[in-house]
Structure 1
Amino acid sequence: MVEISVKKIDNNFIIRWQLSKVEIPASEILNVHLDDTYGGDKKAAIRIGLPYGTTDRVVIETKKQTYILFTSNPSAIMKKLSA
C-alpha cells in the first residue's frame, strides 16, 4: 500500500498520494482532528487515500474545503500538520 506523504514547504503543506498532489496554505487551516466514522461526516470533503476498515481518518478543515486523509499512520500526519 502506498502511504500518504505530508511535507511542510515554506508556509504550505504538500500532501501527496499516488499521482495526486494537494497544496494547503498553513494560514487556511482551521482545525485538524481524527474522525472515527468510516467515510467522514462531510459529504463534500475531498478524500485522499484508500478507505478501508483498518485505516484511521485525519480531517483537515480549511476556510474553503475539508480534506479527509485515510492513513495507517495518523500520529505522524497529525504531528507534521501541527508543527
Structure 2
Amino acid sequence: MLGINVKKSNGIVIIKWQLSKVEIPTSEIIDVSLDDTYGGEEKEAIRIGTPYGTTDRLVIKTKTKTYILYTTNPTSIKNKILS
C-alpha cells in the first residue's frame, strides 16, 4: 500500500498507513485543517505518514487527540473526512 489510505464508513474515519490502522468516530472530530509548519504545531500529536519537505500536512483535531497526516493529497482526504 502506497501512501495513506482514508475511508469513511458508518460514522468512522478509518486511516491506514503501512501496518497501522486508526479509527476515529466522526462525532469526535472537532476540526480538519491544513498545517504549513514542517512538524506540526502540536507537540503531542499522533503523526501518520512520512514527513518529507514536499508533503503537505493535514491536521485532524478530535475531542481528545490531534492527528497529523503527512500526505501529497490533503484536499482529497479532507473532503472525504468532511463529506
TM-score range (shorter-chain normalised) is over 0.9
Q: Secondary structure at the match of 1:59?
A: strand
Could you list the runs of 5+ residues in structure 2 that have no partner in the other structure?
none
TM-score (norm 1): 0.97
For 1:32, the equivalent position in structure 2 comes to 32
Structure 2 match to 1:12 = 12
Name the Cα RMSD after superposition. Answer: 1.0
| SS at 1:77 equivalent | helix
The one-letter amino acid of 2:68's match is I
- Sequence identity of aligned pairs in percent? 64
The amino acid that maps onto 1:79 is: N
Cα distance in structure 1, aligned partners of 2:13 and 2:31? 14
TM-score using structure 2 length: 0.97
Deviation at 1:21, TM superposition (A): 0.1
Q: What is the number of equivalent residue pairs in this alignment? A: 83
Query: Which runs of 5 or more structure 1 residues have no equivalent in the other structure?
Result: none
